[in-house]
């Protein structure tokens, strides 16, 4: 019977995601950036770079360290899907659709472990049709946030099942799925773990270690780039009426977009569920057993406090809040809160018919938001044939660059320029490892038209030499008269090496932990 409830639970999510599995392009705010990143990330994977940090052909061919700072998990998923679709546009949309469906699946598993299959069915359906879901999917195109939400549900399930190895692995993946939501969900998960089983809190620490190869150098070396945060949070608070009144728009938030800016509504059905849950909680005498309900109701209250303009003073003082960029991003919490409180109401109600009606109404009221906003006949070839996409930095306003140079808007004539000599032959010509022979008729400068960033090293005849980059942000090497072998490579810096070691050790410890627990359970079963 549980399998029946499960299939019923995910069918509405599959229908809601139907447009994402249709060929073609659905216009979203961030979609085109993600398409280009998937193409570039897949290019690096195909070249044998399993943990890409560099996008070699962006920035007019000068390259850019975008993957050092932008969450990698959606790019891995998109690159994998692209192997089957042969098209990054379709791969991006399918990857986002899979994330949404997996979130519904994870929600059902989590709620089943708390309240049983029937309550989980209603909770999963109600949670899957919170309006903010479709803002993320069909308006913003935020694939990272979609996968972060999916992983959050599976982590909550793993915590309830005391599967701490899974908790560590899933939490590590969550931190790789979206920088900001990973940060936002972390205190929530620690509090949830304290409420449910504080003994397992170490598994979250192992998850942090597992993802260190990404976040540690990103934090340590953020001083070398500009444009990581171009958003002024003060422009993105939400008016109370915007939370309460149903609306739908496709433009950005902030001033200047009038009535067509994106929707910040909580949703009519989620509001009813929250109010009914609060009333049920107040009426119940055994409130101590409803500690999770108390926590989720408090969470909803905190959301309302922090996304409304009157909290601006708190954001000004508590600096870490500013990394969230958009206060309305906290609406992400409405999804698990609605799912949980629906299941809670179902379990605590003597007759669940009203909850069934609410879940169905949630689907009906929100279903119109699942229609694709704009269809255009674009595929991967459309983007790779246009210089405004291939020569950009795959970021808003092409603002992402190093501190030594701005965005390069013109492609170089060649990958290597030799002043005072000529290129004799190429020895090795990979994205991050170039080796060639140059004959210098006189001492001069060799320019490798690649953006400089810590980790690039140059060698002449096997001896490392200084790199000059200050005046234009590009790699320059002084070479003496005669024939020389010149090599330029991208290697790990100290923070990247430390991050890699921490991730490897954490993975080894998690695997050892899992093996020991498996052996222990086998031994207990034998006895």
Contacts 24+ apart (CB under 8 A), 242-247: 243/304, 243/307, 243/308, 244/271, 246/131, 246/365
d(CA 242, CA 359): 22
The secondary element (H helix, E strand) that includes residue 376 is strand 375-376
The enclosing H or E element of 402 equals strand 401-402
Question: Would you call 50 helix, strand, or coil by DSSP?
Answer: coil
pLDDT of residue 314: 93
CA 479/CA 444 separation, integer angstroms = 6
pLDDT at position 230: 79
User: What pLDDT was estimated at residue 366?
Assistant: 93
Q: Which residue has the tokens 């049920």?
A: 280
Radius of gyration, CA atoms only, the chain:
26
Do 165 and 203 meet the contact criterion of CB atoms below 8 Å apart?
yes
- State how far the Cα of 243 lies from the Cα of 259, in Å rounded to an integer: 14
* CATH-assigned architecture of domain 416-491: Sandwich (2.60)
According to the model, what pLDDT value does residue 146 have? 98
Q: Choose among 401, 491, 417, 418: nearest CA to 449.
A: 417
- Indicate if the alpha-carbon torsion angle 199, 201, 207, 209 is positive or negative: negative
pLDDT of residue 289: 58
| DSSP-based three-state secondary structure for 448 | strand
Q: Which residues contact 525 (CB under 8 A, 6 or more apart)?
A: none
Provide the residue count of the chain.
Answer: 527
Contact 344, 128 (CB under 8 A): no
Strands 482-490 and 375-376: unpaired
| Cα torsion angle, 133, 134, 139, 142, sign | positive
The backbone torsions φ and ψ at residue 31, rounded to the nearest 5 degrees and listed phi first, read -60, -45
| pLDDT of amino acid 217 | 97
Domain definitions of the chain by residue range: 22-384, 416-491
What the block records as the tokens of 143 is 């694939």
Q: For residues 509 and 482, what is the distance between their CA atoms, to the nearest angstrom?
A: 52
Determine the Cα–Cα distance for residues 181 and 464; give it in Å rounded to an integer: 41
> Using CA of residue 78, residue 81, residue 85, residue 90, what is the dihedral sign?
negative
Q: What is the pLDDT of residue 514?
A: 84
Question: Residue ranges of the chain with pLDDT lower than 70?
Answer: 1-2, 255-259, 285-289, 372-375, 524-527
How many Cα atoms are found within 13 Å in the side-chain-facing hemisphere of 429?
8
Rounded-to-integer distance, Cα 181 and Cα 177, Å: 8
Residue 514, both tokens: 């899992």
- For residue 134, CA distances in Å to 7, 19, 20, 45 come to 21, 12, 12, 31
Residue 230 CB neighbours (<10 A)? 12
* Whole-number Å distance between alpha carbons of 132 and 149: 12
Contacts by 514-520, CB closer than 8 A, 24 or more apart? 514/165, 517/165
């Amino acid at each position: 019977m549980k399998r029946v409830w499960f299939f019923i639970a995910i069918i509405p999510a599959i229908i809601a995601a139907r447009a994402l599995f249709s060929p073609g392009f659905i216009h979203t705010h961030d979609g085109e950036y993600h398409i280009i990143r998937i193409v570039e990330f897949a290019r690096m994977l195909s070249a044998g770079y399993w943990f890409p940090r560099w996008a070699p052909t962006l920035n007019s061919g000068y390259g850019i360290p975008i993957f050092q700072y932008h969450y990698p998990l959606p790019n891995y998923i998109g690159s994998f899907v692209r192997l089957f679709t042969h098209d990054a546009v379709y791969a991006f949309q399918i990857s986002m659709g899979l994330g949404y469906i997996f979130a519904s699946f994870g929600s059902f598993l989590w709620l089943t472990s708390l309240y049983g299959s029937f309550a989980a069915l209603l909770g999963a359906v109600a949670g899957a049709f919170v309006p903010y879901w479709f803002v993320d999917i069909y308006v913003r195109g935020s694939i990272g946030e979609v996968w972060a939400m999916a992983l959050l549900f599976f982590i909550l399930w793993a915590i309830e099942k005391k599967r701490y190895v899974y908790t560590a692995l899933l939490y590590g993946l969550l931190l790789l799925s979206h920088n900001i939501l990973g940060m936002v969900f972390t205190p929530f998960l620690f509090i949830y773990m304290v409420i449910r089983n504080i003994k397992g809190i170490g598994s979250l620490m192992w998850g942090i270690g597992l993802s260190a190869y990404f976040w540690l150098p990103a934090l340590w070396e953020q001083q070398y780039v500009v444009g990581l945060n171009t958003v002024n949070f003060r422009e993105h608070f939400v008016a109370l009426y915007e939370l309460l009144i149903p609306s739908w728009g496709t433009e950005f938030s902030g001033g200047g977009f009038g009535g067509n800016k994106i929707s910040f509504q909580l949703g009519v059905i989620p509001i009813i569920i929250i109010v009914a849950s609060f009333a049920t909680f107040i009426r119940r005498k055994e409130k101590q057993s409803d500690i999770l309900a108390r926590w989720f109701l408090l969470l909803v209250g905190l959301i309302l406090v922090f996304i409304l303009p009157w909290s601006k003073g708190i954001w000004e003082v508590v600096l870490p809040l500013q990394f969230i960029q958009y206060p309305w991003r906290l609406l992400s919490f409405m999804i698990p809160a609605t799912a949980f409180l629906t299941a809670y109401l179902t379990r605590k109600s003597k007759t669940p018919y009203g909850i069934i009606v609410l879940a169905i109404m949630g689907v009906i009221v929100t279903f119109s938001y699942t229609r694709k906003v704009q269809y255009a006949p674009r595929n991967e070839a459309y983007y790779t044939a246009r210089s405004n996409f291939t020569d950009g930095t795959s970021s808003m306003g092409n603002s992402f660059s190093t501190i030594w140079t701005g965005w390069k808007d013109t492609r170089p004539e060649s990958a290597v320029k030799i002043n005072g000599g000529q290129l004799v032959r190429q020895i090795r010509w990979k994205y991050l490892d170039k080796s060639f022979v140059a004959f210098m008729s006189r001492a001069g400068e060799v320019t490798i038209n690649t953006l400089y960033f810590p980790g690039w090293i140059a060698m002449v005849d096997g001896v490392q030499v200084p790199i000059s980059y200050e005046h234009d942000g590009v790699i320059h090497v002084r070479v003496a008269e005669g024939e020389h072998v010149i090599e330029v490579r991208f290697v790990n810096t100290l923070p990247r090496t430390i991050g890699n070691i921490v991730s490897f050790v954490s993975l080894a410890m998690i695997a050892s932990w899992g093996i020991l627990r498996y052996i222990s359970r086998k031994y207990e079963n034998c006895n």
